[in-house]
Structure 1
Amino acid sequence: MNKRFFIFILFIIPFIGQLALLPFVNRIQPILFGLPFFHFWLALWIVVTPLITVVVYKLEKKNGGYE
């Protein structure tokens, strides 16, 4: 797999999680950490998205993309 394609896929994952999957997670039950599932799902992606961005940054830096 091409490294650029892998990085592109990593950048697409948050968009899919936050936008494309919303109709499937739009429900109240179960309650997780005191939040309806929909709100928990969005809060989860607020944490996951920067982590993915850090991984992409490290991959690009290792590849010589940011100097």
Structure 2
Amino acid sequence: MDDRPASRSGWRHYRLLLIIPFIWQIGLVPFANSVDMRVLSLPFPMVWQMVGILVTSGIIATVFTLDRRRDRAEGAPEGEDL
């Protein structure tokens, strides 16, 4: 049973951003593997994975920040987990 207020139990649409890393790492691998270019003497798929880590970290940080901001706006206690 969910005892949270109705306003906090709604879907947070910005969490759809978390699909981007999945698409980046799984869905676009055929594209990355077909590129023969080298970046800084590294094969492109390796650079693709490293950039993917940075993009994923940025997206997770963004979603975390938006969650915290929304919780504060709704008056949630600081240490409460969702």
Fold shared, TM-score > 0.5 on shorter chain: yes
Q: Contact (CA 8 Å) 1:27, 1:36: kept in 2 or not?
A: no
> Structure 1 residues 47-56 or 19-28, which shifts more?
19-28
Distance 1:46 1:66, change over 3 A: farther
- How many residue pairs align between the two structures? 64
Bigger relative contact order, structure 1 or 2 (CA pairs below 8 A, ≥6 apart): 2
Aligned residues with identical type, % of pairs: 36
Per residue, is there more helix in 1 or in 2?
A: 1
Q: Secondary structure at the match of 1:29?
A: coil
* Corresponding position of 2:15: 7
What whole-Å deviation, never above 9, does each CA across 1:1-56 have from its counterpart, x for those lacking one?
xx722222x10000000011001110352101221111110111111111110000
Runs of 4+ in 1 over 3 A off after TM superposition: none
Unaligned runs of 5+ in 2: 1-10
| Aligned CA-pair RMSD | 1.9
